[in-house]
Structure 1
């Protein structure tokens, strides 16, 4: 008997494991005391339950939300993963209201969210691959282009795409990247740096009146691949006009047509598309390509804004190529995070 007391007694006179375990039990009792035998637990929280069902419907039927008024559908799709934040908020309200109805209703949006995004919570990266690519919107107002160039080169990428290049900054990037990349080409405000030879370099018309997209063929060891670099127009959220993205959508359609006409089977798209894979306005591009982050990444891979990433608008998409891994790179002097991916080309299979 004395040995048992010695084994469980603590300095404060309580029981160690028993005391810690009792904390959880007391918390559970505190939350649910009074629920048993209370018929009102089914009648309370009807509003919270209704909000839970509405949240589930918005996520499940997001493609049916019209874009006619302020591109509301595209706006919702851009931040669709963040709708999950409302689930713990509603859970707290359900507990405060002591509503069994609301708790059961919350299962619906939880299942919908997990069905849409649960796969992104696992690490799908694998070993191997023969080509590493990276893309970065460097920001025209970047205060440290040289440091940004060094940071991207340090990733070890074989091919690097840069967007939002200014005429004055191009020589800085060229000089900083020259030791790591023997080949490069700049078209308008986008550029491509490569450790392997480039050919067929040309601008791609995305209906802007100036060049913000290009195409080149990279002679990689695993086979030749067409690499597109694009910076689609920015979108704006305005009180009077909503989510204004008409020019972005028009450019996305033009880019999708160019990629559809690409004669090479292996295609990579690198760039700032100013839209997520969920955004229906990018269907002309996303319908024919795979996201490396969705196929082989870990987590959501949010890239913008760099200070508190909330959306992945910087994309690496492939066609005829197997993604092996995908990740974001550390913050630079830009308002975007760089993103990278490791690919396996078909010729190396």
Structure 2
């Protein structure tokens, strides 16, 4: 039985794309928590050792190898920094955050060049603007998403990523150009709709539709150097984010599980880039949000 469970775990890790999404969103649900299959591998290894079963131990090598192939690279040491890096921070600050000033100061301590924030609501928005202004004099806000920058921003405009089923006011995407020392960079900030996990499975149709619209915006972006920062309510393994992950590079190092802040289970706060490599992605200390901030460095090609 242990050997059979080991083989099944290896198959799920290696062929997760084959799990159908049409039934309760099982495919996306599995892919959202795919790294946690490593915990299953550990349990199977312990049980095999307790049973002293050589056959089971050999079988456990299959999912162990599959997990290492898929996620092992994220745990390797960081490569040497490139010459043209851009340091960014991404954070869903939560519309219920009771300490926006403390949150802003915590993010600035990471000394990023760009800070992307979601769930910006008044009067907290004014607090973020005032607290960050000395070090980040350039900002643009559209709806509930915003970007603070050390470098000038031009061409700011909203991104239409609103699903058809949402009829109330809803503006959660922007596009701007950051004029960095290495040249112009298109920066997109987005907050995709939430998903819900219930007895009927994963409900993600609005998130999936919004990801497709964001993918269209990326396809139409003319600037070669492009950065996407946002709470995408999905992991990079989730097939629903394929319109984004097939067009942009994702982090090469670091798991950086960001949600929920109290016991992080998945990284749904993302940093992606085109024409550059996203090096190490890491979480920053908790703020007053239910998300952890993530920081990453982008090295241009």
What's the TM-score once normalised by structure 1's chain length? Answer: 0.82
* Structure richer in helix, relative to its length: 1
Alignment pair present for 1:338 and 2:298: no
CA contact (8 A) 1:137 1:338 kept: yes
Q: Which runs of 4+ in 1 moved over 4 A?
A: none
C-alpha separation between the residues in 1 aligned to 2:3 and 2:152? 60
Deviation at 1:100, TM superposition (A): 2.0
Length, aligned pairs only: 295
Instruction: Report if the CA contact (8 A) 1:198-1:217 is conserved.
Output: yes
Quote the offset at 1:324 in angstroms.
4.3
- Whether the 8 Å CA contact 1:222–1:344 is kept in 2: the answer is no
Alignment-derived partner of residue 124 in structure 1: 78
Correspondences of 1:1-349 after superposition (within 5 Å): 47-128=1-82, 129-208=84-163, 210-239=170-199, 241-291=200-250, 293=251, 295=252, 297=253, 299-345=254-300
Secondary structure of the residue aligned to 1:318 is: strand
Kindly provide the CA deviation profile for residues 38-89 of structure 1, in whole angstroms up to 9, marking residues without a partner as x: xxxxxxxxx1111111111111110000011110100100110100111121
Q: TM-score, with normalisation over the residues of structure 2? A: 0.94
> Is contact 2:255-2:282 (8 Å) kept?
no
Cα distance in 2 for partners of 1:309, 1:74 equals 18
How far apart in 1 are the matches of 2:237 and 2:142?
Answer: 29
CA distance, structure 2, for counterparts of residue 56 and residue 345 of structure 1:
35
Distance 2:51 2:87 in 1: 52
CA contact 1:186–1:192 (8 Å) conserved in 2: yes
Q: Which segments of 5 or more consecutive residues in structure 1 lack a partner in the other structure?
A: 1-46
CA deviation map 1:224-245 (0-9, x unaligned): 0000000001111011x21111
Q: Which runs of 5 or more residues in structure 2 are unaligned?
A: none
Aligned-residue CA RMSD (Å) = 1.3
Q: CA deviation at 1:326?
A: 3.0
